[in-house]
Copies of this chain bind each other. A is one copy, B any other.
Amino acid sequence: MNKRFLNSLIITITLLIFTICSSAVAQEKNQMVRLAKLVIDSAQLDSYKSALKEEIETSLHLEPGVITLYAISEKHNPTHITIIEIYADENAYKSHIQTPHFIKYKTGTKKMVVALELIEATPIVPGIKIK
């Protein structure tokens, strides 16, 4: 193996690390950010959380345009759920709501959701990550 090959290898690996670490940078400008605030029927909370978990994991795995779906339940009011939704752009969102996994979640949890408020949002520091 010669020096030229090693240099190429190092350059390729550096580019790979750069790509891994900055894959979302180009998307930040057009991102669609939203808060979803839900109240869930307490008798169905476990089923709801399980359906939401499956929907989030599938969306993040299959859809590059779903940047995050960070969902929390309030500790002292666990039926109150908030989800920070970030999509690469409006098209990514439109495509997301047509996926089989989203439709399964939406129809499957319809009778569990007591209240739903969707709030369009603007990030104050765009591009912030979760370490």
Q: Please give the residue numbers on chain A whose beta carbons come within 8 Å of chain B beta carbons, in ascending order.
A: 1, 3, 6, 13, 16-17, 20-21, 23-24, 33, 35, 49, 52-53, 56-57, 60, 64, 66-78, 81-82, 84, 86, 119-125, 128-131
Are B124 and A75 closer than 8 Å at their CB atoms?
no
Q: How many monomers of this protein are in the complex?
A: 2
Checking B17, B69, B77, B82 against A128 with a beta-carbon cut-off of 8 angstroms, the contacting residue is B69
Q: Which 3 A-B pairs have the closest CB atoms?
A: A72-B121, A75-B120, A71-B124
Q: Taking CB as reference atom, which chain B residue is nearest A53? A: B125
Are A35 and B121 closer than 8 Å at their CB atoms?
no
Instruction: Given contact pairs A72-B84, A128-B130, enumerate 7 new A-B contacts (beta carbons under 8 Å).
Output: A35-B82, A68-B129, A72-B123, A73-B121, A76-B120, A84-B84, A129-B130
A41 CB to closest chain B CB, in angstroms? 16
Are B68 and A130 closer than 8 Å at their CB atoms?
yes
CB neighbours (8 Å) of A71 from chain B are 123-125, 128
Are B17 and A86 closer than 8 Å at their CB atoms?
no
Q: How many angstroms from the CA of A125 to the CA of B105 in the assembled complex?
A: 15
Checking B52, B53, B76, B128 against A60 with a beta-carbon cut-off of 8 angstroms, the contacting residue is B128
